[in-house]
Amino acid sequence: DAGVIQSPRHEVTEMGQEVTLRCKPISGHDYLFWYRQTMMRGLELLIYFNNNVPIDDSGMPEDRFSAKMPNASFSTLKIQPSEPRDSAVYFCASSLGRRARSKSEETQYFGPGTRLLVL
Amino acid sequence: GQQLNQSPQSMFIQEGEDVSMNCTSSSIFNTWLWYKQDPGEGPVLLIALYKAGELTSNGRLTAQFGITRKDSFLNISASIPSDVGIYFCAGQIRGGADGLTFGKGTHLIIQP
């Protein structure tokens, strides 16, 4: 399996621009998670989906952030307008969740991340 | 929200030494996990713990789920250069169908 795929791997943009991050989960996984990593705050959960439906978006910082999952193999995280404080590494992860036959199959697998720099 | 306090923040050790790091929480977690992150990569799961008191090993790694469900530790024995990286503890309340709450990480640096 190719694992979780994220694109782009690096993004540099100017303040005020729209940024779209993309994620393809592992085939067959029905849970998808978006995390953000910064030096100050560490790794934080932003939002997660089950069967393409957002379950918990309480970690989304503000209305400038939105996430969608139009189908089981694709999700986007959009920031509009972007600000310098949004600079971070954004990770996508997927898991079998409750469809797992054992606890060990519930593991969340992380993508390589998108490094975002907003100037 | 929940917070995980992970210590130490960084460790400078000699190759061959044993390493110990831990995580504590003011809230109960029903699953504890330990991840490792290499530069430029996403976190990779090392060990998962599902029961209070559970002690689990994965090669040179050993981790325990505290009896109170509010803490966990990770030990690495006989460290080698490829152990370098950032180690994160993480907790889940509802198990697999739940987001992870992460500690701030322990940065392990090994001097040959």
Per-residue pLDDT tens digits for B57-99: 999 999 999 999 999 999 999 999 999 999 999 999 876 678 9
* pLDDT, tens digit, 9 for 90 and up, residues A100-110: 666 667 789 99
Min Cα distance A10 → chain B (Å) is: 11
Cβ pair A50:B97 closer than 8 A: yes
Question: Are the C-beta atoms of B43 and B26 separated by less than 8 Å?
Answer: no
Cβ of A91 and B103 within 8 Å? no
Size of interface A-B (CB pairs under 8 A): 60
Is the Cβ of A32 closer than 8 Å to some Cβ of chain B? no
DSSP codes of every residue in B14-45: ETT--EEEEEEESS--SEEEEEEE-TTS--EE
Q: List the single residue in B with minimal CA-CA distance to A57.
A: B99
Nearest C-alpha in A relative to B100: A45
Tokens of B54: 């559970």
